[in-house]
Amino acid sequence: MQELRLLCWVALMGLVQACPKLCDCGEKYGFQIADCAYRDLEAVPPGFLGNVTTLSLSANRLPSLPEGAFREVPLLQSLWLAHNEIRMVAAGALASLGRLKSLDLSHNLISDFAWSDLHNLSALQLLKMDSNQLTFIPRDAFRSLRALRSLQLNHNRLHTLAEGTFEPLTALSHLQINDNPFDCTCSIMWFKTWALTTTVSIPEQDNITCTSPHVLKGTRLNRLLPLPCSAPSVQLTYQPSQDGAELQPGFVLALHCDVDGQPTPQLHWHIQTPRGTVEIASPNVGADGRALPGALAASGRPRFQAFANGSLLIPDFGKLEEGTYSCLATNELGSAESSVNVALATPGEGGEDALGRRFHGKAAEGKGCYTVDNEVQPSGPEDNVVIIYLSRTGGPVAVTTGEGVSARQPPGLLLLGQSLLLLVLASF
């Protein structure tokens, strides 16, 4: 029914509309053609016949393609827009062209392109986007183009390609991607492997070269030696501490994010507390604990001190610092995250840990430390709870996990005012 309505609408439009004044329209080889090339046009003209299947707007002065630019021509199969001055293709400019088979956007200045519009162009067989200023292609840009046979991306400003970018293009037989300033780092190695093994024709491979790093400048991608590459991994550890012999109100909680990966991952802390969310790009302090330039800290020392070695210190830890602490490591191959829930409770009063489990505290006679009985047992890896017991005496401190694993820790005394505090850490 919808298809019938579309055809009726097209027939009506063909009766009431004429060809735009500056264009030539007619039928050739069974196709309705509108030729608007070489007309010095600065916008897509209105008034096209509704049954136009081929439209040429090449060699004009179009600066952009706005939303709905081709709404009048839903049956369009070929669209030629080469040699204009197009810098931006807005979302919705091409989305209505579900029957389009050939699209030429080459030799423009496009840097801002609505890649999501391509998701509607499942009939597309030819896509020419060469000689533009594209710097980035989303990984899912071509996810719907299973009929695409020829793709031209050469002479752009592409520095890298997301792994799997060309995987959906099952009909692809020709790819032109030479003369782009590729960064020959770990993120491009997948493309080198793919290009050497694919049956897709990739011409001018001598001109698919590295621009950076400097030591690889000019190196052909197909001759690039293997690089030591690995995705990030993280391990989050924690330790409460008391600085020096003199006890002060509160204590310092130290978290450490041990990061591995190549290239060296960038570390980021995400902290969710009762006060709200805190995002920290590590480091935000120098070795002396003072804020680095650009880090906000009225006192010179941020409330959460992230060091370059992966440590996070929270001095004078209290109830307002309870919450979830996550470290996120990212490099060009991916990311990894580890989190820990932190909560405080006073022994003897009981309460809930950061995951909502009830517990209560009681003194263990003769052992100089406190113990806790969990009323809810861990039910899976996500419920692993680490409970640290703190001694009032100089004796050792027992550390027990929710799975019954115990260890020994140095003695410690965590005081906030006159209350002995129990630190509960729920890690996942």
Residues forming beta bridges with residue 55, ordered by sequence position: 34, 79
pLDDT per residue, tens digit, the chain (428 aa), is: 445 444 444 444 444 457 999 999 999 888 899 999 999 999 999 999 899 999 999 999 999 999 999 999 999 999 999 999 999 999 999 999 999 999 999 999 999 999 999 999 999 999 999 999 999 999 999 999 999 999 999 999 999 999 999 999 999 999 999 999 999 999 899 999 999 999 999 999 999 999 999 999 999 999 999 888 888 999 988 765 444 323 234 677 788 999 998 888 999 999 998 889 989 888 888 766 667 665 554 456 778 888 888 888 888 777 788 889 999 999 888 899 999 888 775 544 444 544 444 443 333 333 322 223 322 223 333 333 333 333 222 222 222 223 332 333 332 223 222 233 334 444 34
CA angle (349 as vertex; 343, 351 as ends), nearest 5: 45
Alpha carbons 289 and 345: distance in angstroms, whole number: 28
CB atoms within 10 A of CB 82: 19
Looking at residue 244, what is its pLDDT?
37
Secondary element (H or E) of residue 89: strand 88-89
Alpha carbons 363 and 370: distance in angstroms, whole number: 5
CB-based contacts of 391: which residues, under 8 Å, 6+ apart? 368, 369, 370, 397, 411, 412, 413
Looking at residue 138, what is its pLDDT?
96
Residues forming beta bridges with residue 362, ordered by sequence position: 371
Give pTM, 2 decimals: 0.67
Residue with tokens 């006192």: 299
In Å, what is the CA distance from 377 to each residue of 109, 115, 246, 358, 359? 62, 49, 38, 10, 11
Looking at residue 289, what is its pLDDT?
62
Looking at residue 333, what is its pLDDT?
83
**Residue (of 163, 162, 158, 215) closest to 181 by Cα position:** 158
CA angle (386 as vertex; 353, 371 as ends), nearest 5: 80
Three-state SS for 140? coil
Write down how long the chain is: 428
